[in-house]
Amino acid sequence: MSLPFVDRSSSSLPVQFVAQPKWRAWLKEQSAARRGWIESTGVSGNAGDLVVVPGRDGKAAGAVLVSPAKPVLWDFGGLATRLPVGTWKFVSDPAPVSMTDAMVAIGLGTWKFDRYKAKKSKPGPRFVWPEGADKARATAMIEAISLARDLITTPSSDMGPAELAAAAQALGKAHKARVKVIVGDDLLKQNYPMVHAVGRASSRAPRLIDLVWGKESDPKVTLVGKGVCFDTGGLDLKPAAGMLNMKKDMGGAATVLAVASMVMAARLPVRLRVLVPAVENSVSGNAFRPLDVVPTRKGLSVEIGNTDAEGRLILCDALHEGASEKPGMMVDCATLTGAARVALGTDLPALFCNDDALADDLLAAGKAVTDPMWRMPLFQGYRRLLDSRVADLNNVSGGTFGGAITAALYLQAFVPDDVPWAHFDMMAWNNSSRPGRPEGGEAQAARAIFAAIEKRISNPT
């Protein structure tokens, strides 16, 4: 995407921020003509109000944004779409939001997905990089999140396992990372039986994407992302409404690629590994069936209680492999359960974690960068719900309650207790447009995960 920023401009227009509690005092200080214009627009000083002030020629001469008493970065994201075309420059400080974060919000607010439209979107307003903004950091974040949004929003016809692998390979090439892709029946030869079982019914072969970057001597960080490029539900077929937006079922994979992009762009001193099992859960004569028993990379056997609970199946092979290196931090991201959305809604990813220190770091990072999440319990009392009479465990519980918890407990069975591990169950989609967050795919928790990695590396315990 083309970023809406310029280094300098001789004809930029000023954008001023006025905190909502100070609005009335500020308005009294303005000239009678300006005050009259502002009052005529209907702006009353509510947080989020934006007024464009005209000059003597009738054209825009500046703008004033009323910010909340305690603003967050998204409060500035609307400038990307609400200001008239032109070049704008901050003339006041968005504090406590940093200049860098304000520009991230603006940059993300300009994201559009018009790949399939004959008529492309027209350019919007541009912004002069403000003094004090970290251009490289902001650009890396915008590009990483935009990459994830593009991948998630692309229709499955153009975003299958091969295309997802190609995107990972392109990212790896850009940062000189090593990328290995295991395809089709080679998954069986290299002992990824669950990835193969879930993806074998599709005409588009399943694969395991394995990206490695950094020095082997640096602290190990491993990211695992669910890459179900389309989910029919398998033989436990979804209804039409449930299948409608399943192109986003690889949102976890896109999210960890976004985190990886930020880590590599920042050149954090970590040995990064990204594992993405990429499949299409389809229906054909060789599809895996309900009550089949399938082996896993760990050696545990799994009875298939429901073929529509496929995400945890492909993740378990990848998690076991990721944990084999004993990373100091392992995070998986997945659009895993509707139960998590019922519990927390679409904007709040559920966090499950086997390590309190890691959970605290992620929660603190999410709060600091306005990328929220909510911790849910790995309640061991529900582990019995995954018991199977014919295998080591079932992939689903027998009931309808606690589905997000039992899904997380299934994954935990493949992660040793001595590997700090966090699991995000997320929507990966914006159902409607808000400032900085247009409708479409979204890399939820990506900025928080990056911030937590950065903090743990700079302040090792």
DSSP 3-state of 429: strand
First vs last Cα of the chain: how many Å apart? 39
* Residues facing residue 18 across a β-bridge: 66
- Compute, in degrees rounded to 10, the torsion defined by CA atoms 6, 10, 13, 15: 60
Cα dihedral across residues 207, 213, 215, 219: positive or negative: negative
Dump strand ranges (E) for 300-392. Answer: 301-303, 329-334, 350-353, 374-375
Distance of CA 99 to the CA centre of its chain: 22
One of 34, 135, 238, 455 is an active-site residue; which one? 238
Q: How far apart are CA 178 and CA 162, in angstroms?
A: 17
Residues with Cβ < 8 Å from 228, sequence gap 6 or more? 198, 246, 249, 250, 279, 280, 281, 310, 311, 314, 335
Q: How far apart are CA 66 and CA 44, in angstroms?
A: 10
One of 298, 312, 447, 456 is an active-site residue; which one? 312
248 carries an active-site annotation: no
* HSE toward the beta carbon, residue 51, CA cutoff 13 A: 22
| DSSP string computed for 95-135 | TTS-HHHHHHHHHHHT----TT-SSPPPP--EEEPPTT--H
Nearest to 253 by CA among 211, 225, 281, 275: 225
Pairing of strands 13-19, 227-231: unpaired
One-letter amino acid for residue 180 of the chain:
K
238 carries an active-site annotation: yes
Cα dihedral across residues 329, 330, 334, 339: positive or negative: negative
Q: How far apart are CA 279 and CA 160, in angstroms?
A: 7
Q: How far apart are CA 3 and CA 16, in angstroms?
A: 22
Q: How far apart are CA 221 and CA 459, in angstroms?
A: 15
DSSP class of 219: P
Q: How far is CA 416 from CA 212, 265, 352, 411, in A?
A: 21, 30, 15, 11
What are the φ/ψ torsions at residue 62 (nearest 5 degrees)?
170, 180
Catalytic residue numbers?
238, 312
